[in-house]
Amino acid sequence: MGFSLSAVVIIFTAALMYMASIFYPLADLSYHRISQAEKDSTELMHEKLNSKIIITNWDSNNITVYNNGSITLDSSKINLIHDGVLESSFTVDPQGVWSPKTSINIDVGAATGRIKIIASNGVTDYDFK
Amino acid sequence: MGAGTSATQLIFFITSVIIALGVVGAMFMNIESITSAAITGSKTLSEQLKTDITVINDPELIPYSNGNYTFYIKNTGKEELDKIYITVIINGSLVPDANLNKTIISGDTIWRTGDVLKIDAAISLPAGSHNLRVITENGIEDNFAFRTT
């Protein structure tokens, strides 16, 4: 009886240790994966809440857009909608880093209409002329 | 008596080991399915947390030509998405895939971060206010109210 009990205890102990060694690394992986995703999600929200762009001037074909937020944007990743249609043939100066409290110039190729500028993280501004 | 006791103990021993192995086997199967579910669940949750889409149309001017309304949706998250699994609901009614033409503006097949997806929807809408819902493969959605003339 004593020998049987010992055998059962050994089987249970070995099995529990083996199961823990399988479960722990995968549970840890899941935890880290979710932690990283939560960090990314918070970062996305933080960037969106702290981003603001304003169209300050529309002169001839050229519009000036001011980064009034506290997040550095990428001017080469903006989108432009003119009279409802997504435009692909517009030029941006300067391209790349668009720091807070600075402006970029966009040659929209049109002097009138309804314009919507969309930054890389989805923040927008409209103008109508 | 001695042989009888030994036989009894041997039977007890074998029975105990068999029962213990059965219990351990059942526990192992449960642990395995819990681990597998945790992995799948964490992957899905992680994808959902990193996904964000934004309808970037001008709500006053939705392009309309040849019976198609055109919608532009930007991937504003950190997850690559598949355009095939995008679901479109307009005014609460699902627009069948056969009536949709989805094109990624950059020409890619995968809808990457920052890319714009163009959806041409063959539907007829009366003049007035409408509502568009775009839903990704992992259930993240964006709502967009627009007006047609």
Q: What confidence tens digit (pLDDT) does each residue in A68-106 have?
A: 999 999 999 999 999 999 998 899 999 999 999 999 999
B100 SS3 class: strand
Tokens of A117: 């500028």
Within 10 angstroms of residue B118's Cβ, the number of other Cβ atoms is 16
- How far away is chain B from the Cα of A60, in angstroms, using its nearest Cα? 22
Does B94 score more than 80 pLDDT? yes
Please determine, for residue B122, whether its predicted confidence score (pLDDT) is greater than 80. Answer: yes
Question: C-alpha B18: how far from its chain's center?
Answer: 44
Whether residue A33 and residue B9 make contact (CB cut-off 8 A), yes or no, is: no
Task: Count chain A–chain B contacts defined by CB atoms under 8 A.
Answer: 118
Nearest to B61 among A29, A114, A121 (CB): A114
List CB contacts (< 8 A) between B45 and chain A.
Answer: 34, 37
A-chain residue closest to B48, CA distance = A37
Q: Are B28 and A121 in contact (CB < 8 Å)?
A: no
CB contact under 8 A, A37 and B35: no
Q: Is the pLDDT of residue A4 over 90?
A: no
Residues of A with CB under 8 A from a CB of B: 1, 3-5, 7-8, 11-12, 15, 19, 22-23, 26-27, 29-31, 33-34, 36-38, 40-41, 44, 48, 77, 79, 81, 83-86, 88, 114, 116, 118, 120-122, 124, 126
Cα dist from A66 to A13, A61, A77, A126, whole Å: 66, 17, 15, 12
CATH node for A52-128: 2.60.40
Does the pLDDT at position B1 exceed 60?
no
User: Is B49 within 8 Å of A37 when comparing Cβ atoms?
Assistant: yes
| Residues in chain A closer than 8 A to B120 (CB atoms) | none
Q: Which residues of chain A lie closer than 8 angstroms to B31, CB-CB? A: 19, 22-23
pLDDT at A86 (0 to 100): 95
Q: CA A63 → CA A76, A110, B106, distances in Å?
A: 15, 10, 24
How is the beta sheet containing B141-148 ordered, strand by strand? B93-94, B87-90, B128-135, B141-148
CB atoms under 10 Å from CB of B126, counted, come to 7
Split at pLDDT 50, 70, 90, the class of B105 is: very high
In chain A, the residue whose alpha carbon lies closest to the alpha carbon of B116 is A79
Across the interface, do B49 and A41 touch by the CB < 8 Å criterion? yes
**Which range has the worst mean pLDDT, A4-8, A99-103, B119-123?**
A4-8
Q: Which residues of B are less than 8 Å from A48 in CB distance?
A: 76
Tokens of B146: 């627009």
Q: Three-class SS of residue A31?
A: helix
What integer best gives the mean pLDDT of chain A?
A: 93
CATH class in words for B53-148: mainly beta
Q: Helix, strand, or coil here: B140?
A: coil
ipTM of this complex prediction, to 2 decimal places: 0.87
| DSSP-derived pairing of the beta strands A124-128 and A114-118 | antiparallel
Residues of chain A contacting B49 with CB distance shorter than 8 Å = 34, 37-38, 40-41
Compare CB distances from B42 to A33, A79, A126 and report the shortest one's residue: A33
